[in-house]
Amino acid sequence: MPLRMSSSSSAVQAPRSPVNPVIVEQETAEARIRSLLVLGGARSGKSAYAQGLAEAHGPDRLYLATAAAGDEEMAARIARHRVDRGQGWATLEEPIEIAAALAAHAQPSRVVVVDCLTLWLSNLVLGGRDPGPALAALADAIGGLAGPVIFVSNEVGMGIVPDHQLGREFRDWQGRANREIGAACDAVIFVAAGFPLQLKPAATRNVQLI
């Protein structure tokens, strides 16, 4: 069963000037999708959005966690996320082989939330593995999954440039991952300050200068 995203809007006039206003026409539409990428910064509400969409989909829900409890702080974060999700979720911890895990556990009636791609990339990089092949394999697998999936990922390229080489390399890999997974998914949502912004399919159908 596909996921459903609804958006309703009407013509909006953006204030440009009295002579040349811009009219943005948006159509009411319901997107029926099988795969979704949810992007956002830290504490933006991206995980909550993904969780809410999954809970609205149905009772069979799998949380595919990529975090590894390497220290007390991360262990506490994992425990807090479990509490936040509440009842009704099955949890699978897989820090590396998420493409294989999705192929094994995706089902037509089950929605899988992968949270998050950023920690997955971190596991690959810190483990000395080339993220390129793993990223390509994941992107290729999305279209053939037996059930719906929601990926959660961080947008890390909008802040300051990291002051060390590993940080810059990771930032670049994260940007590449978001592009490739976003291209493979049916839809992409960017969450800022708790508000979801639809990037794909484009929410704006027509832009007209008058």
Residue with tokens 């999305």: 142
Rounded CA gap, 19 and 73, in Å? 56
Nearest in space to 137 (alpha carbons), one of 106, 170, 98, 172: 98
Which of these is catalytic: 57, 81, 105, 164? Answer: 81
Nearest in space to 184 (alpha carbons), one of 36, 69, 7, 66: 36
Residue 81 falls in the annotated catalytic set:
yes
Catalytic (active-site) positions:
81
